[in-house]
């Protein structure tokens, strides 16, 4: 009888342990909440040691909670001496989604509001998915577990060791930033040709501003092609209403690239104002901008057809869902591109991407020109972290890639013979200097090793060769 009692005790003890383990494994929505002090420490570690444009002496001066229905779902971390981070408040989401090394947080900036909305939406989706054991969320348990460890490392002041990407066949740069220097705004003088709206002149719109700055990066086209007209239904963006009408543009006149400065913070001459406003307005008409004094909008997919049909860009230009490997590859080919984030209501914002940092993989950082102003202190560029864990169907992000001047710019370095376009680069430099037009710019992928078979490589026609950390050698 004693043996039976002992066995029963063991069985009960085992069942109790099993029950405790099962209860421990049941996910709860609040399990990952992180306090303000811990988030502050994590952000300081991130800015000092992890991010691009790191600041070794960074100190968080003030934490500002971002709440949804009374619950803190994110923070704005204001850095001492300028700069800020938009960061998570739970280890289900990333510690930092946006880092501005020098700027000042503006609560009216739609870019920042979109990112804060994104953090809250991702958190809600993941919490609900774990509670309901949604397989779409459970398949990312390993990634979420790694994320929780990442948070703890940052809180402890340790430099985290992230999961490394597979080694590339070529020595691709860990970090890159393109020489895109423009900081254009949507208001005066850029909107000088935009229609009048409810209480004032309408703004350029982020889609057109991004497209215009891409064209300024290439200083292309010398002139556009064709014309376009559409019916604008007026301005309802500020709560009132103004009448619309037909908006038109003829693209065949020359663009004055020499009079398009990086910004107008010190004032712009009449010729500069004319050049900036012409390009900005014609980019808007080409995408059929819905102009408003309190905000202008257009479909991001319209950028592709606008560039191809009116601004003489390569027909390889492609619009699609965000892919971080594609994004990094674009930068390696020296091509800035258009990025779009859309929220549940269909609103959102468009940015210009011109750099990347693989040091934060798997949540890779990308350098964004936010298209919100000449004032670099208030509206700076910043590093945005692309979350590698899906956040639900309400978060829609897309990009327009393979943007390059048609025929004037060609790309070199493919496994097989091509036509030099973004989608089909030349196989090597020998094919490029034979097939490309005189005066063409030949771009080699960053970190690439390019060989030629001839005893001596002779280039007897005018070309411009560009690339970062590129080798050209005899095979």
Residue 203 · residue 292 · CB < 8 Å: yes
Provide the phi-psi class of 83: left if phi over 0, else alpha when psi is between -120 and 50, else beta: left
Please report the pLDDT score of residue 371 as a whole number. Answer: 75
Please report the pLDDT score of residue 271 as a whole number. Answer: 99
| CA–CA separation, 409 and 407 (whole Å) | 5
Residues 6+ apart with CB under 8 A from 60: 40, 43, 44, 77, 78, 79, 80
Residue 237 · residue 292 · CB < 8 Å: yes
Percent of the chain residues topping a pLDDT of 90? 81
| Token code pair at residue 293 | 């004094």
| CA–CA separation, 396 and 206 (whole Å) | 17
| CA–CA separation, 317 and 335 (whole Å) | 11
Q: pTM of the full predicted structure? A: 0.90
Domains of the chain: 36-155 (no CATH), 178-341 (3.30.910.30), 409-474 (no CATH)
| Token code pair at residue 40 | 């502050």
Residue 325 · residue 366 · CB < 8 Å: no
| CA–CA separation, 175 and 361 (whole Å) | 11
| Token code pair at residue 185 | 């705004």
Q: Which residue has 């003489």 as its token pair?
A: 312
pLDDT band at 110 (very low <50, low <70, confident <90, very high): confident
| Token code pair at residue 259 | 């009079």
Please report the pLDDT score of residue 379 as a whole number. Answer: 52
| CA–CA separation, 56 and 283 (whole Å) | 41
Mean pLDDT of 432-441: 97
């Amino acid at each position: 009888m004693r043996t039976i009692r002992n066995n029963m005790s063991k069985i009960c003890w085992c069942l109790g342990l099993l029950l405790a383990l099962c209860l421990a494994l049941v996910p709860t929505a609040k399990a990952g909440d992180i306090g303000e002090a811990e988030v502050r420490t994590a952000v300081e570690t991130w800015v000092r040691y992890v991010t691009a444009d790191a600041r070794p002496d960074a100190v968080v001066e003030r934490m500002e909670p971002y709440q949804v229905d009374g619950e803190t779902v994110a923070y704005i971390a204001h850095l001492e001496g300028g700069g800020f981070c938009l960061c998570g408040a739970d280890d289900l989401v990333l510690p930092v989604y946006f880092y501005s090394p020098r700027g000042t947080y503006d609560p009216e900036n739609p870019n920042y509001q979109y990112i804060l909305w994104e953090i809250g939406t991702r958190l809600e989706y993941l919490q609900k998915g774990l509670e309901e054991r949604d397989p779409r969320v459970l398949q990312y348990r390993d990634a979420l577990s790694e994320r929780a460890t990442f948070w703890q490392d940052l809180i402890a002041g340790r430099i985290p060791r992230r999961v490394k990407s597979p080694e590339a066949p070529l020595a691709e740069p860990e970090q890159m930033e393109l020489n895109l220097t423009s900081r254009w705004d949507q208001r005066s003088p850029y909107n000088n040709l935009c229609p009048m709206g409810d209480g004032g002149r309408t703004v350029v719109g982020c889609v057109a501003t991004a497209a215009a700055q891409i064209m300024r990066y290439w200083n292309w086209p010398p002139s556009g092609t064709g014309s376009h007209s559409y019916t604008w239904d007026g301005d309802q963006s500020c709560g009132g209403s103004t009448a619309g009408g037909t908006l038109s543009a003829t693209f065949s006149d020359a663009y004055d690239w020499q009079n398009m400065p990086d910004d107008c913070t010190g004032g712009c001459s009449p010729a500069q104002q004319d050049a900036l406003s012409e390009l900005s307005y014609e980019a808007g008409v080409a995408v059929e901008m819905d102009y408003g004094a309190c905000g202008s909008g257009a479909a991001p997919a319209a950028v592709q057809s606008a560039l191809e049909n009116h601004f003489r860009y390569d027909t390889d230009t492609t619009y699609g869902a965000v892919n971080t490997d594609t994004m990094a590859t674009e930068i390696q080919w020296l091509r800035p591109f258009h990025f779009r984030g859309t929220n549940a209501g269909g609103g959102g914002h468009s940015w210009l991407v011109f750099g990347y940092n693989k040091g934060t993989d798997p949540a890779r950082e990308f350098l964004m020109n936010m298209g919100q102003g000449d004032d670099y202190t208030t509206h700076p560029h910043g590093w945005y972290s692309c979350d590698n864990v899906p956040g639900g169907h309400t978060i829609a992000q897309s990009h327009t890639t393979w943007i390059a001047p048609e025929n004037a710019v060609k790309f070199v370095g493919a496994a097989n013979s091509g036509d030099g376009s973004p989608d089909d680069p030349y196989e090597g430099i020998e094919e490029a200097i034979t097939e490309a037009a005189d005066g063409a710019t030949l771009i080699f992928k960053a970190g690439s090793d390019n060989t030629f078979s001839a005893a001596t490589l002779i280039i007897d026609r005018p070309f411009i060769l560009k690339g970062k950390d590129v080798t050209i050698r005899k095979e």
